[in-house]
Chain A
């Protein structure tokens, strides 16, 4: 008995599993219970009626089918593009390849709501800029673009998703051992065959991981379906959840929770599929000093790649940003004259907005760092010893994603109110940081987990044999090899946290203004130009950070 406990204590997986249970399983459990609670807060009455109504509803079936088909289209398009761009960046000498991360960064940094609104304006069938240009060139019959449609939602959602998937694939692509590539080429394989038959299969965990992540992110994405889908009569799960939560006679938390439980089930199925597809194959690709990506001469194809980069930049950045800047300079939404910097002045002289920038920065820096460090620890402990504990650690992190923002916030709220000693944290920043941590860790996990999967345990073991302690082995071997992925994961989490709306909307502490909430408030109150200016200032801040990071990296390399 005692030796069993000692063994358990020696295995760090137990401690990590407990943390995972508290952070991910407990809020998810609260949401599951919430599906059966008659009263969302207080009361001990339980019923299966609400869940039954949701599951047996023809409307739900139709919406689920719509969501799944649309999600599949989005994920296929976005993953293919993300893999192509990651490969162009990591493996070719195509001109402008260095601009890809900048473009992707800008896409992620653009708030989803504005991305959807911008494309709603650009692709409007009547007065949209894209159609106006097409008509100018090809005549009246060329008014063919309509973003308020099934394919409009797919296009806009895919463009946004590509960026996140690109960053999550970048680490694994960069960390891939070049000896694999060289061995394939020496054996007579062409660059395309090497890429598709050697490198893509090796990257299967990372690619399937981002596919699942992309699918789940689409399942909970609200902005594009609401702005572009509702006018076309297209409803998906998030808009259905919104309908339950904004029911005219009061929010139907149990119904909304029931759909979230459905989402969790879909997610579990996806994860099981991933296990089944990948099995227990090894995906280690880092082999010591050879762990540097090799770039190949892409020949004439490099101009095709450059064209792709430019086209993507035009669609994902130039056009929406042009629209966003136009709005931010306008006295009112849709103005065609009277442009000025007044909205920027107003944002930068408003103490409430300034405190929102400061609060958001602190929360995102701390929350992002916590998420990346924790995700690294989880990934490391998951591979400490294969088995059920490892799988629990790995997959419990996905639960945070299976719950749409507001439902996750509710789950966390129920947890903090339900567990006696946690109640003191209600109304403090602790509860919000906790919820943001849970929401972001799957993204941090994708950034760090896939990179860790490529580092062989033998490297650590070699360090132990050479006399290094476990801590030093982790630092000298794991941390240093993973550093690019850790930093990109941190930056990614920082940007994602800055844009999360639903959690701070429900959980922010009194007196702590939060930027996403301030921007949203101004948008809903008809001050969209002010909101656009605030969002662009945030975006500018992101770009300054990216520029500083780029300079710092250059400086380190120079030294």
Chain B
């Protein structure tokens, strides 16, 4: 017992020494208490931005160095999170994979109980949560510094109060199985796929349920790229799959040669693993689903969340986004898949997000009428 007591005493002294050393080191400009050193060169930011980030970093460590995310696609975004944790040592990200009803129920239960769990929510359907009052306004200073987007485009990436902002888009186009069809024979405009000659050759994630299929067809319709006659043609030509992963798998296995409304990141990942698939963009009217991020109202670690949101818009964060196969908004980020930048992607001219959300019910009713078979 004595030995144990001595050891304990030694350990506690050693601990005190370490804490004292850490506290002293923290007095240095770049080494906040409890964390590591921020590397300005690695972050690739200006002095002013670095000072802002450092301040937030210190506050984040004071909050305990934890950050909790709600939303989806966390597995895909993991490299972006890891880069953040590496460059802002001492902060640990925890993710909760939730969508739709689960997500809404969790947010409402958090609010009703007063026990707020998450700091940040990431979702393409941000307005639903914004309108329900779950977001708090926050404009990341680094958002203004993003290169390569003009003012009007920039304004479309957030709402007026900055209750969300958009650091990236998921790019959707056509997936082809190169063993079944020569990519050169595949049309590069949406209209041609309604032609009867594609009957039985096209796969689509069921657009009557939320997901990629519904999101893309909704936007094609609302951008006036296609009309209801086109939808009827697609309904005739395509085979529906109940979930998106099954649709990708059917393409990869060679069940069908073409997947309409395929996410570029998924196809590039499969191709990188050796799958005989290729992702094709349209000559025009490409669809990008905006991935919106918001600081949650009542977030238990608000400063840490702000630090992360700022990280998403600096070059380091934007390049991390490009590396995982998404479309960052910065013109500085280079796609490893040779995709165009955000401004060169020839995206369809979409109405504002608020209008898309407002039109959702009407469009889904149309999609259900046209695509729901057996009813």
Show the binding face of A for B, using Cβ within 8 Å.
Answer: 40-42, 59, 62, 117, 120-121, 124, 126-127, 226-235, 242-243, 245-251, 253, 256, 331-335, 337-338, 406, 409-410, 413, 417, 423, 426-427, 502, 505-506, 510-511, 517, 520-528
Contact = CB atoms under 8 A, between A and B. Distances in A.
Of A228, A511, A521, most buried by chain B (CB within 10 Å of CB) is A521
Contacts of A337: 274
B115 A426 contact: yes
A56 B263 CA distance: 38
A417 B105 CA distance: 12
Nearest to A226: B242
Interface string B129-169: 00010000000000000000000000000000000000000
A410 B75 contact: no
Contacts of B241: 230-231
A333 B248 contact: yes
B104 A250 contact: yes
Interface string B55-98: 00000000000001000111110000000000000000010111
B208 interface: yes
B18 to A, nearest CB: 24
Size band of the B side of the interface?
35 or more
A520 B254 CA distance: 24
Given A233-B372, A523-B245, A526-B76, A417 B112 contact: yes
A323 B81 CA distance: 33
Contacts of A243: 208-209
Contact of A226 (B243, B256, B275): B243
Contacts of B360: 248-249
B221 to A, nearest CB: 13
B236 to A, nearest CB: 13
Of A59, A231, A335, A338, most buried by chain B (CB within 10 Å of CB) is A231
Given A41-B109, A521-B75, A331 B273 contact: yes
B257 to A, nearest CB: 11
A329 to B, nearest CB: 13
B364 interface: yes
B100 interface: yes
A331 B275 CA distance: 9
B76 A506 contact: no
Contact of B255 (A127, A234, A517): A127
Contacts of B68: 510
A233 B99 CA distance: 24
Interface of B: 68, 72-76, 94, 96-102, 104-106, 108-113, 115, 117, 128, 132, 206, 208-210, 214, 218, 239-246, 248-250, 252-256, 266, 269-270, 273-275, 357, 360-361, 363-364, 372-375
B264 to A, nearest CB: 12
B106 A506 contact: yes
Given A248-B214, A406-B101, A427-B115, A42 B94 contact: no
Contacts of B115: 426-427
Nearest to B75: A525
A526 B270 CA distance: 9
A521 B274 contact: no
Closest 6 CB pairs of A and B: A233-B373, A233-B374, A230-B242, A334-B253, A334-B252, A251-B101
A338 B375 CA distance: 43
A63 to B, nearest CB: 9
B97 A41 contact: no
A492 B249 CA distance: 32
B240 A231 contact: yes
Contacts of B253: 121, 124, 127, 333-334
Contacts of A333: 245, 248-249, 252-253, 270
Of A41, A121, A253, most buried by chain B (CB within 10 Å of CB) is A41
Given A231-B239, A338-B273, A248 B374 contact: no
B275 to A, nearest CB: 5
A83 to B, nearest CB: 32
Contacts of A232: 373-374
A245 B96 CA distance: 19
Given A334-B252, A510-B96, A522-B75, A426 B101 contact: no
A406 B255 contact: no
Contacts of B74: 521, 525
Contacts of A117: 246
B117 A527 contact: no
A72 B68 CA distance: 45
13 contacts: A41-B108, A41-B111, A126-B255, A227-B246, A231-B206, A246-B100, A247-B364, A251-B100, A256-B101, A417-B112, A426-B113, A510-B117, A517-B97
Contacts of B128: 249-250
B246 A235 contact: no
A251 B129 CA distance: 11
Given A230-B206, A246-B101, A505-B102, A332 B270 contact: yes
Of A248, A331, A334, A521, most buried by chain B (CB within 10 Å of CB) is A248
B108 A246 contact: no
A144 B97 CA distance: 39
A230 B266 contact: no
Nearest to B210: A246
B112 A331 contact: no
Given A126-B255, A426-B109, A510-B94, A251 B210 contact: no
B300 to A, nearest CB: 10
Contacts of B117: 427, 510
Of A42, A506, A525, A526, most buried by chain B (CB within 10 Å of CB) is A526
B248 A511 contact: no
A410 B105 contact: yes
Nearest to B68: A510
Nearest to A418: B112
Contacts of A228: 242
A335 B177 CA distance: 12
B248 A227 contact: no
A59 B243 CA distance: 22
B240 A417 contact: no
Given A335-B273, A527-B75, 14 more contacts: A226-B243, A227-B243, A227-B246, A231-B241, A235-B372, A246-B99, A247-B364, A249-B357, A333-B248, A417-B109, A417-B112, A506-B98, A506-B102, A510-B94
A337 to B, nearest CB: 7
Nearest to B109: A413
B255 A124 contact: yes
A150 to B, nearest CB: 10
A335 B102 contact: no
B275 A334 contact: yes
A334 B249 contact: yes
A326 to B, nearest CB: 11
A114 to B, nearest CB: 12
B246 A248 contact: no
A245 B76 contact: no
A228 B206 CA distance: 12
Nearest to B108: A41
Contacts of A253: 101, 105
Of A334, A417, A502, A511, most buried by chain B (CB within 10 Å of CB) is A334
A511 B94 contact: yes
B217 to A, nearest CB: 11
Contacts of B274: 331-332, 335, 337-338
